[in-house]
Copies of this chain bind each other. A is one copy, B any other.
Amino acid sequence: MSQLWSKLVHKLEPYVPGEQPKITNLIKLNTNENPYGPSPKVLDALKTEAADTLRLYPDPNSDQLKQTIADYYSVEPKQVFVGNGSDEVLAHAFQALLKHDKPILYPDITYSFYPVYCGLYQIEYETIPLADDFTINIENYKKPNGGIIFPNPNAPTGVGLALEAIKQLLDNNTDSVVIVDEAYIDFGGETAISLVDQYPNLLVIQTLSKSRSLAGLRLGFAIGNEQLIAGLERVKNSFNSYPIDRFASTGAIAAFEDEEYFQTTKQQILNTRAKLITGLESLGFEVLPSQANFVFARHPSKDAISISQSLRDKGIIVRHFAKPRIDQFIRITIGTKAECEALIKCLSSI
């Protein structure tokens, strides 16, 4: 039957997301979800959308949402693109902005969806090794390319890149698009959005799934020069006119409007992260410096797969990546204080 598939489909190697278990009572620290629910104001706003107006299409251009995001980040609405989760935004960006004659560049250890997008859109790529301490060395990106993309902080390491380094990378690389994938930026990094007016080839992508507790709602966005956004809009409008449903738009707007809740929950996560790192280190783990809502840690003598499995047996899920250089690490999402204490207790007993 597969002769009915397009040639491309045979070659795809789809992305495998972290497990979303259907059993409850697990401590779920594997997909970097926020341990706190969305703002009560977001929930109230969402309830009002459960109404007769659902019979009507949403605004295909999501103008109100773009205005809200633009106001929040002090940019113009025409500098804002929105999508059904930041994965969709990334997909459109690969197709619209990163497919050129030369290969694109990204770190050897990074978000594992990037090579999948390259497969989908048949984009050549070259991976640039991280330094031994898992930092990005921007000097290594000084070569002809069809575009550059990296997460900041990087995934799954959590290691951040300073804004000054990003600025230097942009100064070195003016002829192709540079995408900074800031899914985790709110947990301690410094956003590159402040640079978009200065660098017309810079695109910054963020999500509401992590710091704004809305993974279940699917909303991501990009901010950049209006010409880059126009390119994304051309692809989006050739793919799906109405990707943002009425709930996603309303929930996202309300989330940006409740700054206090955002700051409070973020601070709680940062506090818990500090305690978790101390606890892991006291058990002998090496923990990479994290600017994210997760930590990436390895034990000098215990095997990562066996740690993961032992935790799983006791009802705690973390994530392991069977990849070169990082196969001895486990990635642990910052949960509630109680969840992280349970994790440390469990690790002590292993």
Partner among B6, B17, B56 whose Cβ is within 8 Å of the Cβ of A96: B6
Expressed in whole angstroms, the Cα–Cα distance for A260 and B215 within the complex equals: 33
Q: How many residues of A contact B (CB 8 A)?
A: 86
Partner among B4, B54, B176, B243 whose Cβ is within 8 Å of the Cβ of A228: B4
Q: How many copies does the complex hold?
A: 2
Q: Do residues A60 and B20 form an inter-chain contact, with CB atoms below 8 A?
A: yes
Q: Which of A1-28 contact B (CB under 8 A)?
A: 1-2, 4-9, 12-17, 20, 22, 28
Partner among B12, B235, B245 whose Cβ is within 8 Å of the Cβ of A218: B245
- Whether A102 is near chain B, meaning CB under 8 Å from some CB there, is no
Q: Do residues A231 and B58 form an inter-chain contact, with CB atoms below 8 A?
A: no
Partner among B6, B34, B248 whose Cβ is within 8 Å of the Cβ of A55: B34
- Beyond A1-B225, A38-B52, whether A57 also contacts B215 by CB under 8 A is yes
B residues in contact with A195, CB < 8 Å:
none
Q: Do residues B14 and A238 form an inter-chain contact, with CB atoms below 8 A?
A: yes
Partner among B8, B17, B119 whose Cβ is within 8 Å of the Cβ of A242: B17
Q: Could you give 10 example pairs across A and B, Cβ below 8 Å?
A: A2-B227, A4-B97, A4-B231, A5-B234, A9-B231, A14-B234, A20-B56, A35-B55, A58-B216, A247-B247
Known: A6-B96, A9-B231. 13 other contacts (CB 8 A): A9-B235, A15-B237, A37-B52, A38-B55, A54-B251, A55-B214, A56-B215, A56-B216, A58-B215, A84-B245, A85-B242, A91-B240, A217-B245
